[in-house]
């Protein structure tokens, strides 16, 4: 079974048909740059471009980098334009895609669902936290495989600021940090999250998961196991398609 998944991020919009039996992309993904400012209309145009690239005419699952309630309404917009707040994203995207059935889910929640089903969290019980490091820091919290949605742990306070302003991969780029310097920041953030939630496993996702060998070994003093996301930066696409299949 194939369903289309789209992952909307602060820097890029990427998508592809997903083979839900394998938990992997059925075709090489298409990616366009996220417009700046990332307004609802601008992002919807980007989504349409990605979906039209494949001539897709079935259900579409989309991630959004913020809190999404009721499968439709955007409540936060930390890394996109503030005009997203209170937008009915499902109606917006469905209208732009010619009435195709659309499901919208928080981006980190989608990545987490995919990793728990097909990746690093498969068959893991107890508390598991996936953290995506990109433009911001997204989070997905699971207990015995059940998701607590819209946790947004990237906005925990660290050094007087949102943690994602200090420890995201964008912060690494913006401040010209070495892998060692950035790993130290990530370590402080993980220690803070661990103190609050005591997970048994941290899954590190986002684009930086492809380079886990450059920094994971530098993180010390964390009791929980720390592993990179197996689906890497495709986890959001796969998770979005999984959610859309549930509503198809």
Q: Is the pLDDT of residue 71 over 90?
A: no
Report the candidate in 238, 5, 208 with the shortest Cα–Cα distance to residue 118.
238
Number of domains, the chain: 2
Are 60 and 150 in a shared domain? no
CB 127 within 8 A of CB 139: no
3-state secondary structure of 198: coil
Residue 136 structural domain:
120-229
CB 167 within 8 A of CB 208: no
pTM, two decimals, is 0.95
Are 174 and 243 in a shared domain? no
CB atoms within 10 A of CB 133: 25
Are 97 and 43 in a shared domain? yes
Report the candidate in 85, 216, 224, 78 with the shortest Cα–Cα distance to residue 154.
78
Average pLDDT of the residues in 61-66: 96
Q: Is the pLDDT of residue 148 over 80?
A: yes
Are 210 and 124 in a shared domain? yes
187-218 per-position pLDDT tens digit: 999 999 999 999 999 999 998 999 999 999 99
Average pLDDT of the residues in 123-151: 96
Q: How confident is the model at residue 237 (pLDDT cuts 50, 70, 90)?
A: very high
Are 87 and 142 in a shared domain? no
Average pLDDT of the residues in 174-181: 97
CATH number at residue 47: 3.30.420.40
Are 193 and 208 in a shared domain? yes
Are 177 and 89 in a shared domain? no
Specify the pLDDT at position 33.
Answer: 97
CB 190 within 8 A of CB 219: yes
81/108 Cα distance (integer angstroms): 19
Residue 113 lies in a domain: no
Are 35 and 49 in a shared domain? yes
Specify the pLDDT at position 156.
Answer: 97
Are 101 and 150 in a shared domain? no
Residue 214 lies in a domain: yes
């Amino acid at each position: 079974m194939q369903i289309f998944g789209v992952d909307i991020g602060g820097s890029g919009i990427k998508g592809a048909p997903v083979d839900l039996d394998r938990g992997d992309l059925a075709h090489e993904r298409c990616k366009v740059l996220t417009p700046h400012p990332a307004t609802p209309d601008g992002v919807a145009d980007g989504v349409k471009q990605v979906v039209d690239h494949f001539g897709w005419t079935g259900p579409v699952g989309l991630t959004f980098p913020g809190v999404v309630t009721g499968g439709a309404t955007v409540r936060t917009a930390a890394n996109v334009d503030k005009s997203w707040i209170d937008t009915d994203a499902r109606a917006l995207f469905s209208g732009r895609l010619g009435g195709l059935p659309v499901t919208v889910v928080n981006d980190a929640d989608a990545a987490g669902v995919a990793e728990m089903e097909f990746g690093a969290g498969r068959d893991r019980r107890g508390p598991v936290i996936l953290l995506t490091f990109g433009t911001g820091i997204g989070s997905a919290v699971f207990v015995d495989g059940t998701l607590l949605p819209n946790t947004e742990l990237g906005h925990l306070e660290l050094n007087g600021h949102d943690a994602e302003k200090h420890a995201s991969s964008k912060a690494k780029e913006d401040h010209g940090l070495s892998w060692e310097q950035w790993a130290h920041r990530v370590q402080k953030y993980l220690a803070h999250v661990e103190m609050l939630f005591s997970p048994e496993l941290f899954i590190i996702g986002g684009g930086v998961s492809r380079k886990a060998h450059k920094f994971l070994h530098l993180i010390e003093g964390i009791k929980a196991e720390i592993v990179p996301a197996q689906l890497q930066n495709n986890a959001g696409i796969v998770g979005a398609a999984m959610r859309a299949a549930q509503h198809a």
